[in-house]
Structure 1
C-alpha cells in the first residue's frame, strides 16, 4: 500500500512539474522571441514584407491619383468641340491630369481624320495608361508565390537540423516539441505575407479595372461627340 501511495505521489509531482513548465513557457513566449527563433530565413521574409508594404502603398497612391477626375471634364470637352473650338478642347485636355484626359487629348489632336483612326490612336494611348497603372503589380503576385516557399524552406531546414541534433545528442521530447513549433514560425510568417500579397494584388487590380471602365466610357462618349453636328 505504501508503495502504491509513493508511486501516486511521484506521478502527481511529475504532472505538476510538467504543468508548471508549460505555464512558464507560455508566459515567456513573445512575438519577438518566435520571430527570432524562426532562423536565418526570416531575413528574406522580412525583406518580402518591406517590399509588400512599399509596392502596395506606392501603387495605391498612384492609382488613387489617376482615378481623380473632374466630373465636368467631358461636358466641357463636348461644349468646346460642338462649338468648333478644337484648340480650346485640346488645351483643356492637356491641362487636366489623369489617364482619361491624356486619352481624350490624343483623340482631340486627331480630329479631322477618319473615326476609326481616332479610335485606334485613343485605344493605343489607353493601353499605355493601363500599363503605367499596372507597373510593379507583378512584384505582388511574385511575393504571393515565393513568400510561402521561403516559409516552408525554413521549416524544412529546421527539421533537418532538429533530426541531426537528435542523431548526435539523443532523443528528448521537450527539445523536439520546442524545435518543431519554433521552426514552423517561418511557415506561418510566409503564409501571412503570401496571403497579404495576394489580397493586395487583387485589390489593386480591381481599382485599375475601375479606371479602365472610366476610360472606356470616356472614349465612347468622345466618339459620340464627334458624330454630333457642330453649332
Structure 2
C-alpha cells in the first residue's frame, strides 16, 4: 500500500509539469518554517511558568528581589531578560522605565517573529505557481485543438492544469493555518507579558520611593 502511495505521488508530481518543482521547494520551506516555529515558540524559552509566578509573588511582597533575579537569570528566557532589565535599569522614573522596557520587548519579539515572514511568503507564492501551472496546461490544451490524435496532449494539459492548482492550494492552506496560529499565539504571549512587566515596573518604582 505504501509503495502504491509513493507511485501515485510520483505520478502526480510528474503530471504537474515544470511548475511542480518550485511548489515542491515551497513545501520543503513550509515544513522547515513550521518545525522552526515549534521549537522557537516553546513556553520555556519565552515566559516560563516558574518565572511568571515568581514575578507575581514579588509584586505581592512574597518573594525577594535577589530570589527573583536568580530565577530570571536561570530561566534564560525572553521574559527573564526583560525582568532583569526592569529590575536593574538605572532609571527610577516610571514612565521612562516603562518606555525602555517596551523598546527592549519589541526587539525581543522581532526575533521571535522569525519564520513568520517565510510562511507569509509561501501563502502568497504557492497559489501563484499553481495558477502559472494551470495557465500553462490550458495553453497546451488549446494549442492542440483540431489536430489529429490530440487526446493524449489534451489529457496531459488537463493533468498539469489541475495538479499544479491542487498542489498550490494544498501548500498554501496549511501555511495560512500555521501563520495565523503562531501570530495569535505570539500576540497572546506579548499581551500577558506586557501586563506582567507593567506591574513589575510599577511595583519597583513605588517601592523605591518609600
Flag whether TM exceeds 0.5 (same fold). Answer: yes
| Superposed CA offset, 1:72-98 (max 9, x none) | 321454478985x5x554444222222
Q: Which moved more, 1:179-188 or 1:49-58?
A: 179-188
Q: Is the aligned partner of 1:142 residue 2:121?
A: yes
CA contact (8 A) 2:30 2:119 kept: yes
| Superposed CA offset, 1:85-142 (max 9, x none) | 5x55444422222222211111111255211121111111111111111112111111
Partners of 1:72 and 1:203 lie apart in 2 by 25
CA contact (8 A) 1:89 1:108 kept: no
> Which residue of 2 is the match for residue 107 of structure 1?
86
Match of 1:193 among 171, 175, 190: 171
Match of 2:105 among 116, 126, 136: 126
**TM-score normalised per structure 1:** 0.75
Q: Is the aligned partner of 1:202 residue 2:183?
A: no
Where does structure 2 lack aligned partners over 5 or more consecutive residues?
1-6
Q: How does 1:21-32 map to 2 (within 5 A)?
A: 30-32=8-10
Q: Is the aligned partner of 1:68 residue 2:48?
A: yes
Partners of 1:160 and 1:199 lie apart in 2 by 33
Change (3 A) 1:230 1:76: farther
> Which residue of 1 is the match for residue 139 of structure 2?
160
What is the count of residue pairs matched by the alignment? Answer: 200
Partners of 2:48 and 2:141 lie apart in 1 by 55
Residue 194 of structure 1 and its aligned partner are, at CA, apart by: 1.1
Residue 34 of structure 1 and its aligned partner are, at CA, apart by: 1.8
Change (3 A) 1:134 1:220: same
Match of 2:22 among 12, 37, 44: 44
Change (3 A) 1:152 1:192: same
Answer with 1 or 2: which has the greater Rg.
1
Partners of 1:41 and 1:79 lie apart in 2 by 61
CA contact (8 A) 1:155 1:186 kept: yes
Change (3 A) 1:157 1:175: closer
Partners of 1:45 and 1:214 lie apart in 2 by 38
3-state secondary structure, aligned to 2:134:
helix
